[in-house]
A and B are shown apart, each in its own frame.
Chain A
Amino acid sequence: MTQRASFTPVVAGSASSESPATPKAPARRGGPPNPSADALRQRFGAAVRRVDVVWGETTVIVDGARLGEIAAWLHDDPAQRYDLLADVTAVEFRDSELPLEVVWHIRSLPFRRFLRLKVLLEKGRPLEVPSVWATWKSADWLERECYDMFGIRFAGHPDLRRILMWEQYKEGYPLRKDFPLRGRFSRSEQLRQALAANPEARYSMDELSIAQAFEDLPDDMRQRLSTGEKTGE
């Protein structure tokens, strides 16, 4: 195989002068924060609500309304370059007074930095945060999963639908604390619903548009679908 003449691997840590080491006994609270936290404060001022350092990891709590802007800046700024979105998830505490937290874990490969972004969502308000899909494509499935499990809507996500649960799942959002461990319905009710499901409804309308598959469906199903009934697995 010919090597590309100009090929040089993109080496993580290329912009960092420190050699990384296994963290030894980080403090529970405090310690030097990630330099990006100060940079964020300078750039965005009041949109940065709080900076915590817990077990050596920096958490920046930001204003949800400006998240998209903050994410794009962290990704693009030459002194930050957070190019890898590792994870999107949410935390709900057992204390129902506490707000829900949406958590983004991002890494800057050139600078070898790790940052946790958080947005707090008060209970009783619509659970909605901006999507960061425009900045990191890896947000696609991660945000869908977070929506599926917590019911948090990511505004601006191109295709926000359930991913692990099936599309017609009606019982709610499984990782919320008010969702019982065994599910909302009894075993017999779950079985009844599973048996009552139409086994032909395996494709979404989007998929049925391929190859005019919609026209080949039985009449009753076409009628039900055209009245807005959802299909899907």
Chain B
Amino acid sequence: MATTKRTVDVQLSTSGVDAQGRPQRTPLVTDQSGNLLTMEAPPAIEPDLQADHMLINIGPQHPATHGVLRLVLELDGETVVRCIPHVGYLHCGFEKIGEYRQYNQIIPWTDREDYLNSPGNNVAFALGAERLFGIAITERCTVLRVMTCELSRIMSHLVWLGTTCIDIGAFTPFLWAFYQREAIYKLLEDWVGARLTVTTTRVGGMAADVPDGWVDQLRHFTKTFPKTLAEIDKVVTRNGIWVGRTIGLGVMSADEAVNYGLTGPMLRASGVAYDVRKDFPYLDYETYDFDVPVGTNGDVYDRYLVRMEEMRQSIRILEQAIARFPDGPVNTDDHRVVLPPKSKATSDMESMIHHFKQVMEGPRPPIGECYVAVESPKGEKGYYMVSDGTSKPVRWRIRPPSFVNLSAIPKMVEGHLLSDVIAINASIDIVMGEIDR
């Protein structure tokens, strides 16, 4: 498999001492050839003062926890000895509600769990439901869904980038990132009329075909966005503060990362080239030419590099999707599942029956179950659906990638400083809507 390793040559010089004259904790140390040395583990800088450990509570209402996450930390001086995370403040029983809704009625709920990736969730759910119904989608729909997924990946990574920059102390990239995110929201708004909770898909197709000129706007975006990305890259990637505050933090080795169930950029930063798009493809992803970036050290900095590269790869995929975007219908003509055109419902008996049955009872999949996973910006997002032959699922399970990724946070923060907890927590890219559901 083609993989891209991103390396950065950093020319940094530092006096080696901080403002108080103590040795720098951050690894701003270079070898003879001027390469930045990677810190394997943070050195213990606080002498053991034999003092009491301190209990610190972060959150649930704290801007740096990216939602209503609560961390109870036990500190020895400034070093985290133990971290006990608490989640569930946003729990609203999506899975329970799904058991009382028809399949198309569940799609709006998928918007609201990982709300930074709502178009991607819609696609994932529709793919799962289509496998459960046993129907195939059209060629145009497949390509349109690829565009949707990649746009939402860029959107989610931009929010991650902007907020993480703010956490670590850089404000300007946040504005640049959100300006570009606004361009994607404009595209979605032109297409389906909504911005955040878009509900782009239906079982068997899309909510609507894209309007005239939409693809041109998308092409314009793929041309302008890489410039902004390059600017952010220039400002952040070799920035001494950024490098110092991210390298060597929250290291997960490849084996640990797999064993802890990490997926997505978190896993790839640890050097495991696992991407659902490559290894368990859907939507014909195997026919697109793109690389899976992997990191070498599994720290916060590598996660940043992986996400930056993923956005560039998403642009590559978008360009290929635009080039092959075929004409034709977006919805299947299987009218047991997809509503027939309204004009036919009043003139054609069979279409009227389909209309009536679908609206009053809802489409019914055969008895069965399926687990469909997609590569969401956070990791492997899976929907597990079980049908007993009625129009509502018996069980609709969301496999939340950031829930599993967050479960490794005690492992990642212990031994680091309190201020590094913020950077490590930001690097997980959590969305509490998805974790608590």
Contact = CB atoms under 8 A, between A and B. Distances in A.
Interface of A: 1-4, 7, 9-13, 19-22, 24-26, 28, 54-55, 57, 59, 83-87, 89, 91-95, 103, 105, 107, 109, 112, 114, 116, 136-138, 140-142, 145, 149, 162-166, 174-175, 179, 181, 202-204, 206-207, 210-213, 233
A28 B134 contact: yes
Contacts of A2: 31, 35-38
Contact of B96 (A28, A105, A181): A181
Interface stretch (B272-280, B317-325, B355-363): B272-280
A94 B274 CA distance: 37
A105 B388 contact: no
Ranked nearest first, the 10 interchain pairs of A and B with the lowest CB-CB distance are A138-B261, A141-B407, A12-B274, A164-B88, A164-B91, A210-B55, A9-B294, A87-B399, A10-B272, A91-B395
A89 B100 contact: no
Majority DSSP secondary structure for residues of A touching B: loop
Nearest to A148: B88
9 contacts: A3-B296, A26-B131, A57-B369, A86-B399, A87-B371, A87-B382, A145-B403, A174-B96, A207-B84
A65 B261 CA distance: 24
Contacts of B70: 233
Interface of B: 1, 3, 5, 7-10, 31, 35-38, 52-55, 57, 70, 72, 74, 82, 84, 86-88, 91, 93, 95-97, 100, 131-132, 134, 136, 247, 254, 256, 258-263, 271-275, 278-286, 294, 296-297, 366, 368-371, 373, 380, 382, 384, 386, 388, 390, 394-395, 397, 399, 403-404, 406-408, 436-437
B279 A12 contact: yes
Contacts, number: 196
A210 B3 CA distance: 46
A12 B384 contact: no
A126 to B, nearest CB: 22
Given A114-B371, A203-B72, A210-B74, 6 more contacts: A9-B5, A57-B370, A138-B262, A163-B87, A174-B93, A202-B57
Contact of B259 (A1, A138, A164): A138
B136 A20 contact: no
A12 B254 contact: no
Contacts of B54: 210-211
Contacts of A206: 84
Contacts of B87: 163-164
A85 B407 CA distance: 13
Contacts of B247: 1
Contact of A181 (B38, B100, B294, B395): B100
B170 to A, nearest CB: 20
A91 B386 contact: yes
Contacts of B254: 10
